[in-house]
Structure formats: C-alpha cells, structure tokens
Structure 1
Amino acid sequence: MSAALPCIPTSAIPKRGRRKDARPGELLDAALDLFVDKGYAATRVEEVAARAGVSKGTLFLYFPSKQELFKAVVRQNIAGRFAEWDLELESYVGTSQDLVRYCFETWWERIGSTKASGLGKLMLSEANNFPEIAEFYRHEVVEPGHQLIRRVLQRGMDRGELRALDLEHAVYLVLAPLMFLMFSQSTPALCIPNAERFSPQEYIRLQADNVLQGLCVRSA
C-alpha cells in the first residue's frame, strides 16, 4: 500500500503556486497595506506585485493600471459595502437612538479599526495631486456615505424621534467625531496625549450619546 500524502497547509504553499482565483484578493490586500503606509504617489505596482508574490505582469492581468488597482481597493474595503449597509438600514426595527449608536459602533468595527480607515486620510492628503481618483472617491464613498447618514436622520424625523434638521449640515455632526478617530489611528501620539489610555470604543459611545443629545426631540 502506498503511503498517504501529507496534508500541506495553505500557508506553506508558495503564493505563485496558489489558485489563480486567490491572486486578486492577495493583490488587493498588498495594495491596501502599501497605499495606506506609503501613500498613492509613492506606491509602485512592482512593490504590490512583490508583496503578493506574483510578477508585475500578473498584476496587470487583473488591474491594468495603478489607478484601477486603487479603485478596486476602495471598492473592496469601503464602496462595495454600501449595498449591504442600505439593506441593514431598511430592515432595522429599533429606535433612532439605537440606530445612531449602532451606526457609530458598526463604522468602528468594519472601517475605523481596520486598515481601510487609512484610505480616507490618504485621499485628504493627495486629492489635489490626483483629481481623477479624488472624483472617484467622492462619487463612490463620500456621496453614498452622506446619503446613508441622511437616510438615518430622516428616518428619525419621520418617526418623531429626532427633531427637524437641516440634513445637509446635520450629516457633519455625525461625521466629525468619526473623522477625528480616523486621523488618530494613523498618528495617535500627535492627536491624543496619553494615547495608551485612550479607548476608541469608549470614545465612540460618548460621541454617539453627545450627538443624540443634540438630535433627539426634547420633552416640553
């Protein structure tokens, strides 16, 4: 009888020998790391390919340019999630107060605490030099994000749980504390003295409560 073949863990298989359908994901993960760490301008596609364990030519089979690679990174990590978040909003049955808290906490869990939070900071620092990707980010991330927040606030007004609001400006009441937390993740020592004692989860909870104090209908 022949001996059984040993089971080789996936991590032990060289990346060049893995399934082709795994390569796009590996390339996007490598690109996210490099874009966030080095910025858009300084990231070279050769570096992305090398980190993913493939050739530059292989990268171009999936993503024909650095710009298209960056767009794919944004879609995978942020823009592609709006359809899922829209469905969650449609099916949510709790109060507006609970929904606002849920939005804050969910943003932190799915975006703020992940590498993807660095994409927003990247765009703010490099948008003027790359207007095409800035326009893409505005269309795919900023506008859908604002629309989602407006829907949350409009739902609260329709239910009589939130006071009448100018939605075009009220959006930024929700965004402002999240943007601070986004910046603090990349430069905590600069933004937050004694950062080792800072709890993002506690900050999120306090900011949600603070925003709700201003948004909710007040009793006579």
Structure 2
Amino acid sequence: MTAAAPSAPTKPAPAAKTRRRSRVGDSREDREAVIIAAGLAEFLEKGYAATRVDDVAKRAGVAKGTVYLYFPSKEDLFHAVVRRSIAPLVDVVEAVAATPGASAAEVLKQVLATLYREVAGTDRREVLRLLIAESGRFPQLAAYAHTVVVRRGGKALRALVAEAVARGEFRPGPAAAAPEVVMGPVVLALVWTLVFHDIDPLDLDAVLDAHVDLILRGLQPAPRS
C-alpha cells in the first residue's frame, strides 16, 4: 500500500483589489489557508524581516486583527508556512517507511520519488530558498524547520536503513551508518533548480533514476557469485 502524496501547492498570486468575501471562505480552515498563502507570498517577495503583518492582511483580504487571531506573531505565521508546505511530506515519508512487507529498496524509491515530485518539482522548493536566505539572521526559523521536518524525516530514514541492515537487505558500512547521505542528490537537485533552472534545467526524472541507482548500489550487498 502506498501513501498518497499531498498535491502541489498553488504558487501565490500577486495582491489584487478584490472584495474580501470573494477571496476568503467562510470556514476557519479557508481563512487560515488564505492567510498562510499570503504570508508565503510576502515572505518570498520581501524577506522575513521586511514582511509586515499589515501587508499580509491586505494580500489576504482580511483585517490585520484577523491575522493575529490565527497567528499571534509573524514567527507563528512563518511556522505555519513551513508546516503547510513541507511538513505533510514527512507524514508521507513516515507512512511509506512503515509499509508492511515492503522492501527497503522499494520504500526508498517511493520516498525519493516523492521528494523529487513534491519538492524539487513544485513551488515548495521556494520555502527552502526562504530558509537558506533567512536562517543566518533568524536561526530560530531554521531550528523550527529542523524540528518539524528534518528531525522527523531523518528518524524515519535511519530506522528504515537500520531495519534493512538487520535483516540483510542492506549491508553495514559507511552509507548505512550515516544514512543522511541518501538525501545528498535530492538536495543538489533542489539547489540546482533554485539557482540554475533558467540557465541549465535539470531533467528531474533522469536525476531521480540516477539517484536511486547510486544509493542502492551503495547499500545493497554484492550479489553472491
């Protein structure tokens, strides 16, 4: 059984003069989603420090007090952007890693395919751009992303590799001892896509195939002669 990956987010649209009722739904979830989308757009456009809650409210078509009703501070709004954009993918990774009876190799393929398809291949990669740009001045933002994304995903990955080594599917060695290296090529793909896409775009499907081939050759035992 394969867990379904979350759908790709819609790229935030520029602010427009539209009646509030036409832009913001009646439910709490609708209003929260609109505010988060507006916050992401403002953070990407202006950076964390220069983003003002007033401007987020205008872009969302709500009153400033409504933003604070949902998010007591700008940092809380940033946390919500990370949770909505990236954290659901960790749920997918954890669910796939816990698939009963699946081989570790197949699970790794599914996990990597999800990361390429849902992060490198969508506007979610812009959240990484934001974290890279702002983490030096605001280390608490990176610390939060590490807690809700990196730490959880890393724990699931280490457990998967350790169990595969224990049952003989993967061989013990440097790659199994530091399974974070499994993520290396996808991080390269993310950075490349953010920086060089307009100059030299990557074929993400081809990079995924090469990534899987490289990782499995490094982890799987040599065939018996």
Regarding TM over 0.5, the answer is: yes
Contact 2:113-2:208 within 8 A present in 1 as well: yes
Which digits, 9 at most, give the CA deviation of each residue in 1:156-190, with x for residues without a partner? 21231111135786323211111111112322247
Which residue does 1:3 correspond to in 2? none
User: Which among 8, 15, 19 is matched to residue 26 of structure 2?
Assistant: 19
| Structure 1 CA distance for aligned equivalents of residues 222 and 175 of structure 2 | 18
Contact 2:35-2:67 within 8 A present in 1 as well: yes
Q: List runs of 5+ in structure 1 lacking aligned partners.
A: 1-10
Matched, 1:73 2:81: yes
| Structure 1 CA distance for aligned equivalents of residues 158 and 39 of structure 2 | 32
Shift of 1:151: 1.8
Which digits, 9 at most, give the CA deviation of each residue in 1:12-42, with x for residues without a partner? 95225x3042110111122223323443223
Contact 1:34-1:43 within 8 A present in 2 as well: yes
Which residue does 2:40 correspond to in 1? 32
Matched, 1:129 2:133: no
Q: List runs of 5+ in structure 2 lacking aligned partners.
A: 1-18
Most deviating of 90-99 and 163-172? 163-172
Shift of 1:141: 1.7
Which residue does 1:90 correspond to in 2? 98
User: TM-score under structure 2 normalisation?
Assistant: 0.79
Between structures 1 and 2, the one with greater helix share:
1
What fraction of aligned residue pairs are identical, expressed as a percent? 28
User: TM-score under structure 1 normalisation?
Assistant: 0.81
- 1:1-220 matches, cutoff 5 A: 14-15=22-23, 18-21=25-28, 22-166=30-174, 170-189=178-197, 194-195=200-201, 198-220=202-224
| Structure 2 CA distance for aligned equivalents of residues 46 and 99 of structure 1 | 45
The 4+ residue runs of structure 1 with deviation greater than 6 A are none
Most deviating of 122-131 and 68-77? 122-131
